[in-house]
Structure 1
Amino acid sequence: MMLDQILELYGLNTNNYHIKSFGTGLINHTWKVSGPENYILQRINPYVFKNPEAIAENMALLAEYLKHTAPNYLFVAPIPTLKGERMAEINHKEYYRLFPFIDNSVTITEITNQQEAFEAAQQFGKFTYLLRDFKLEKLHYTLPQFHDLKLRFDQFKEACSTAGADKLAIAATAINDIYKYQGILFTYMQLIDHQQLPLRVIHHDTKISNVLFDQHHNGLCVIDLDTVMPGYFLSDVGDMLRTYLSPANEEERDFSKIQINEECFYAIYKGYVSAMGTALTPAEKEYFTYSGKYMIYMQVLRFLTDFLNDDIYYHTTYPLQNLVRAQNQLKLLEQFTRSENRFKKFIEYFSFKHDNIVN
């Protein structure tokens, strides 16, 4: 068995271990290896990550930096093979990593209370804060232009120009809505063109399952670091707002279930700001709410573009699924926008209260 061969490269006697699929990730395949010690084995998806070596080098650089600057931080780094290699490579086309399994830790797939949102936001903020002085030029871009909203909009326009008339007709309302919200794109372009936001070490995939909790659901650290690269806080905060605020996820077909939990927004803000502290710039605080619109809008573009391109990126299980996903996210964007003023007032009040306490 292939997986047995992989474990042998790490010096593990396969007779002593049991291998079972693990987790809900959609990109890489993951297994739990149970035995005298427990591990996580993961195969990198080469169709998404074209340069696995870049991921391995990024992780090694971050691990070394944190070992010296934050030795008590739990950074779950890959274990080297018996030959000292960062990955196990098979036939020059398959790449595997082995991680220690953190005992008494848990992951969750959906937010059930505000405290979990706070803990997750604090962990993602802490990760970026601890790496605030890391030299960004050392990091590889593992997914170039991953969260470039201008690129996603251009891809959408290209898809509209090549899609068949039937698809354009079915998606007409969603297409019109994308242009209705085009101000989100203009704001992004202004922020980037005028360099109003600092580049930071950003995780880029802040779904709740990428946070490791203890048995009492206190945050321990962030995991799944393949997408860590230079970026803007918009990506991490925006992805949390997109995926944590509604009990209905992007696969929900009953749009009446798509609601905004405003208390969850407040928890995310408090958690992220408590970890970032004074490292968070005034501009980042000003555009904290905008980050949610930015990420939701980007996901609308990506789903609708894939629908118009005949579903070549996202896996589908029924006809029109990517269109339904886009419509779902448009509903979320509508609901988020309705809450936007209350979010901004909360941030103003929170900042005023905090500044007065400090002074």
Structure 2
Amino acid sequence: MELNIDEDILKAYGFTLDIVNLQQIGSGHINRTYLLSALQNDKQYILQNINVHVFKDPFAIANNIEAVADYLKANNPDYLFPAPIPTLHGELMFAHHGDYWRLLPFVANTMAYDTLSDPKQAYEAAKQFGKLSRLLNHFDTAVLKPTIPGFHNLSWRYEQFTFALSQATAVLKQNANHEIETALRHHFIVDYYKSYEHRKDFPNRVMHHDTKISNVLLNEEDNTGICVIDLDTLMPGKFISDLGDMMRTYLCAYAENETDLNKIKIRLPYFKATVEGYLSEMANILTPTEKELILFSGKYIIYMQALRFLTDYLNGSIYYPIAYPTQNLDRTKNQLKLLNELFENEKILQDIIEECLS
């Protein structure tokens, strides 16, 4: 596959096309990512193009990461935080014809998985995401800018859904009638969140906001956690964003594109491993209110994702890439089934949480 990367981008970091090997990598749908191997010394780097359609203010990303990197360097210098490498002119990114590029260190002897195959992986990943937030417990979140405004704002996502519903064609509404009714019936999740939102012991923290398994590096030999990657959505948020997203993506053996809803089940060992891993780092700093909302975090994020898929379906599928016309509706059904599994197993799951907290 021809890569078509302008040599000026490489020169900004001291490379030329003849002294590097480039290979496109990664399963992410947002940014284009390449493995850059320097032929003269065998050093490897990650070269990445930031998607400005999703991240409309790339400098917010760069400034957030720099602020966090500086804080960690001063307070936890041994912590591995793979921040971008400056250009030869000391810039955080290289702007080129409206595109923004960055170079990141490559962390050797690690693996980034697309799917979980062992509860240990869930434990280690959850531990790493928890560790990052714990180390930043005293960091001033007001320093950070939202890189995607409203990203995990459930009230706003619900408003987007109801507006899409008011504008949708009769055919789309008819096709999604059951899912629309289910989404409307679960509005109590929004109200429940609002009842906690402004409590003093429900603070804003530095959150990753995209805690899928592929965004953490594990040791390739024993799967112990090494570090967190893909820091574009590192911004202020509630702890439920990170833990909830882990529940959404770790608990079921099948992702949101699975259409056989009978397969959408919660794997209890993965739930316990996720909660244990997260609490191994965060238990001592979570407030009583936060501990009360551990299970709710999964409901919050899963419901939000169901709303986002349903909203996109009603809008004509203009945001999420689709392979067939009803894919976003199928994704909605998938997430609503996962949400129902959380409610159906609530007593078992809450008992596991209490066990982990004790």
TM-score with structure 2 setting the length: 0.96
Report SS of the residue matched to 2:126. Answer: helix
Evaluate the alpha carbon distance shift between residue 240 and residue 90 of structure 1 in structure 2; reply closer, same or farther with a 3 A threshold.
same
Contact 2:201–2:287 (8 Å) recurs in 1: no
Q: 1:158 aligns with which of 163, 176, 201?
A: 163
Task: Specify the code of the residue in structure 2 equivalent to 1:262.
Answer: L
Q: Following superposition of structure 1 onto structure 2, how do residues 174-193 of structure 1 map, counting pairs within 5 Å?
A: 174-193=179-198
Answering whether residue 301 of structure 2 is matched by residue 286 of structure 1, we say: no
- Which residue is equivalent to 2:312? 306
Q: Following superposition of structure 1 onto structure 2, how do residues 95-106 of structure 1 map, counting pairs within 5 Å?
A: 95-106=100-111
Answering whether residue 18 of structure 2 is matched by residue 12 of structure 1, we say: no
Q: 1:21 aligns with which of 12, 19, 24?
A: 24
Contact 1:262–1:339 (8 Å) recurs in 2: no
Contact 2:201–2:288 (8 Å) recurs in 1: no
Report Cα offsets for 1:81-115 as digits up to 9, x if no partner.
11111101102x10000011111111101111110
Shift of 1:338: 1.2
Q: Once structures 1 and 2 are overlaid, which stretch shifts more, 338-347 or 163-172?
A: 338-347
- Which residue is equivalent to 1:259? 265
Q: Following superposition of structure 1 onto structure 2, how do residues 229-268 of structure 1 map, counting pairs within 5 Å?
A: 229-268=235-274
- Which residue is equivalent to 2:134? 129
Report SS of the residue matched to 1:11. Answer: coil
For residues 82 and 292 of structure 1, what CA distance do their matches in structure 2 show?
44
Report SS of the residue matched to 1:279. Answer: coil
Report Cα offsets for 1:150-173 as digits up to 9, x if no partner.
001011000111111111111000
Shift of 1:253: 1.0
* Stretches of structure 2 lacking an aligned partner (at least 5 in a row): none
Greater helix content: 1
Report SS of the residue matched to 2:197. Answer: helix
Evaluate the alpha carbon distance shift between residue 199 and residue 13 of structure 1 in structure 2; reply closer, same or farther with a 3 A threshold.
same
- Which residue is equivalent to 2:83? 77
- Which residue is equivalent to 1:40? 46
Shift of 1:196: 4.7
Shift of 1:232: 0.2
- Which residue is equivalent to 1:222? 228
Q: How many residues align?
A: 351
Q: Once structures 1 and 2 are overlaid, which stretch shifts more, 146-155 or 34-43?
A: 34-43
Report Cα offsets for 1:44-74 as digits up to 9, x if no partner.
0000111101111111111111001000100
Shift of 1:195: 4.7
- Which residue is equivalent to 1:355? none
Shift of 1:17: 1.2
Task: Specify the code of the residue in structure 2 equivalent to 1:79.
Answer: I
- Which residue is equivalent to 2:354? 348
Report SS of the residue matched to 2:283. Answer: helix
* Stretches of structure 1 lacking an aligned partner (at least 5 in a row): 353-359
Shift of 1:6: 1.0
Q: Which runs of 4+ in 1 moved over 3 A?
A: 193-196
- Which residue is equivalent to 1:68? 74
Task: Specify the code of the residue in structure 1 equivalent to 2:63.
Answer: E
Q: Sequence identity, in percent?
A: 46
Contact 2:261–2:337 (8 Å) recurs in 1: yes
Contact 1:22–1:31 (8 Å) recurs in 2: yes
> C-alpha root-mean-square deviation of aligned residues, in Å?
1.1
Shift of 1:334: 1.1
